[in-house]
Amino acid sequence: MLIGCPKEIKPQEFRVGLTPHAAREAVAHGHEVVVERGAGVGSGFADADYVAAGARVVDGAEEVFATAELIVKVKEPQAAERRRLREGQVLFTYLHLAPDPEQARDLMESGATCIAYETVTDARGGLPLLAPMSEVAGRLAPQVGAWTLQKANGGRGVLLGGIPGVRPARVVIVGGGVVGTAAARVAVGMGANVTVLDRSLARLSYLDDIFMGRLTTQYSSGGALAELLPTADLVIGAVLIPGAQAPKLVRRADLGTMLPGAAIVDVAIDQGGCFETSRATTHEDPIYEVDGVLHYCVANMPGAVARTSTLGLGNATLPFLLALADKGWSGALAADPHLRGGLNVHAGRIAHRAVAEALGLPLAEVALAA
Ligand SMILES: NC(=O)C1=CN([C@@H]2O[C@H](COP(=O)(O)OP(=O)(O)OC[C@H]3O[C@@H](n4cnc5c(N)ncnc54)[C@H](O)[C@@H]3O)[C@@H](O)[C@H]2O)C=CC1
Ligand SMILES: CC(=O)C(=O)O
Ligand SMILES: [Mg+2]
């Protein structure tokens, strides 16, 4: 099969969908690999690394999209990329369609088969292709939150860890999954006073065990948030209902109860965000203020540490990429119900239940190879 990897074109996105090591494995499996010139540079991979791995480097995205049967990327296809997708082609990347009807419409019109990293599942109920980037974004969240809290950025001038004689900042993390746990690890490490909220008691119990008293867990409810928001310095949004729009847990009116200059980092922004006042921002212009509260809502946080992120994402995607190339999309999905969970769009229709519900569109039943 011909696998194509274009250079990412989302602003300030330096990751790449295929590492030279992954390209080498695909070639060893008998596939042809085409990579756009410069695609890996932002992650520290030279074109020569891909050539040494047996890939062909071509000028421009046009040839990649025109020739590849399977396109591997990182971010959701931008409008210019969507225009290049065609019937019969397979797209393997993050999509986050629930809050993005325009993208959903374009992908349906393209006729391509679109498999989203973020809805591929695993046997333990996890999301193995979201997890590595959630590890990154979670670790980054207290770091960017600390920066946002600095006075020069409009924040309330509080140091996360405090100093001897001055209490540390209060950090509230809403959602204790992969992002929330990674964020807690770093915030606790920085010396902050951390509370994690979740709706899963099993998850709260796990966090209570592993942090051994170094953070507080609390069952997530409107009442719990109403109690915590008035004293929080930093609130991190990390909830997820796979495939669906993030629930709006903090309304605009709630901002009035918060401290002036407090900060929100809404990591869940790629699923629409869990604060009513969240709107996606970019690494170029990451923060804005509403009612005295600063919002950081970058939808591709891992792009900031592209080298680490590309390597982590590549480790997770490789076995699925090889399965898709070796067996064809239909055979690979038929053989693996977890990869089947990634199917979001096929032949002009939405093929994932939660995505279809979020977009108010009918769910297509897709027949797979026997
Ligand atoms: N902005 C960015 O660059 C990135 C964003 N993300 C996003 O971060 C979000 C979280 O991802 P993960 O941690 O991997 O998901 P996860 O599935 O590991 O964790 C989500 C947690 O939210 C909890 N939850 C659900 N409803 C809740 C509620 N009402 N209150 C409190 N907790 C609730 C679940 O029980 C679960 O423990 C996703 O939207 C993901 O796409 C992930 C990576 C990068
Ligand atoms: C998960 C995601 O959307 C990202 O890593 O950008
Ligand atoms: Mg995203």
Quick one: fold of 2-120+305-359? Rossmann fold (3.40.50)
Residue nearest to atom 2 of ligand 2 (CA): 300
User: How high is the ipTM of this complex?
Assistant: 0.97
Overall average pLDDT of the 347-361 stretch: 97
Contact 258, 228 (CB under 8 A): no
- pLDDT > 90 fraction of the chain, expressed in percent and rounded: 99
Query: What pLDDT is stored for residue 369 in this prediction?
Result: 85
Whole-number Å distance, alpha carbon 278 to ligand 3 midpoint, is 14
Contact 16, 310 (CB under 8 A): yes
- pLDDT > 70 fraction of the chain, expressed in percent and rounded: 100
Query: What pLDDT is stored for residue 255 in this prediction?
Result: 98
Residue nearest to atom 5 of ligand 1 (CA): 267
Pairing of the two strands 234-237 and 263-266: parallel
Query: What pLDDT is stored for residue 160 in this prediction?
Result: 98
- Give one word for 64, left, alpha or beta, with left for phi > 0 and alpha for psi -120 to 50: alpha
Overall average pLDDT of the 82-103 stretch: 97
Query: What residues pack around ion ligand 3 (CB closer than 5 A)?
Result: 270, 299
User: Is 220's C-beta closer than 6 angstroms to any atom of ligand 2?
Assistant: no
On the question of pLDDT at 146 being above 80, the answer is yes
Whole-number Å distance, alpha carbon 308 to ligand 3 midpoint, is 16
User: Measured between alpha carbons, how far is 159 from 191 in angstroms, rounded to an integer?
Assistant: 10
Overall average pLDDT of the 21-37 stretch: 98
Overall average pLDDT of the 150-170 stretch: 98
User: Is 191's C-beta closer than 6 angstroms to any atom of ligand 1?
Assistant: no
Query: What pLDDT is stored for residue 300 in this prediction?
Result: 95
Alpha helices in the chain (DSSP H): 20-28, 47-52, 61-67, 79-82, 101-110, 131-148, 178-189, 201-211, 222-228, 252-255, 306-335, 337-340, 353-359
Quick one: fold of 131-299? Rossmann fold (3.40.50)
Pocket test for ligand 2, best of 94, 135, 305 (most atoms within 8 A of CB): 94
Overall average pLDDT of the 266-283 stretch: 97
Asked if the domains at 2-120+305-359 and 131-299 fall in one CATH topology, the answer is: yes
Contact 180, 215 (CB under 8 A): no
User: Is 178's C-beta closer than 6 angstroms to any atom of ligand 2?
Assistant: no
On the question of pLDDT at 370 being above 80, the answer is no
User: Is 302's C-beta closer than 6 angstroms to any atom of ligand 1?
Assistant: yes
Pocket test for ligand 1, best of 10, 239, 251 (most atoms within 8 A of CB): 239
User: Is 94's C-beta closer than 6 angstroms to any atom of ligand 2?
Assistant: yes
Q: Domain limits of the chain?
A: 2-120+305-359, 131-299
| pTM for the full predicted model | 0.96
User: Is 135's C-beta closer than 6 angstroms to any atom of ligand 2?
Assistant: no
Q: Which atom of ligand 1 is nearest to the CA of 302?
A: 3
User: Measured between alpha carbons, how far is 17 from 3 in angstroms, rounded to an integer?
Assistant: 11
User: Is 14's C-beta closer than 6 angstroms to any atom of ligand 2?
Assistant: no
Q: Which atom of ligand 2 is nearest to the CA of 94?
A: 3
DSSP 158-199: --TT-BTTBPPPEEEEE--SHHHHHHHHHHHHTT-EEEEEES
User: Measured between alpha carbons, how far is 293 from 104 in angstroms, rounded to an integer?
Assistant: 32
Q: What are phi and psi of 116, to 5 degrees?
A: -95, 130
Q: Which atom of ligand 1 is nearest to the CA of 249?
A: 29
Q: Both tokens of residue 73?
A: 């990327």
Q: Give the chain's mean pLDDT.
A: 97
Overall average pLDDT of the 287-293 stretch: 98
Residue nearest to atom 22 of ligand 1 (CA): 239
Catalytic positions: 96, 270
Rounded CA Rg of the chain: 21
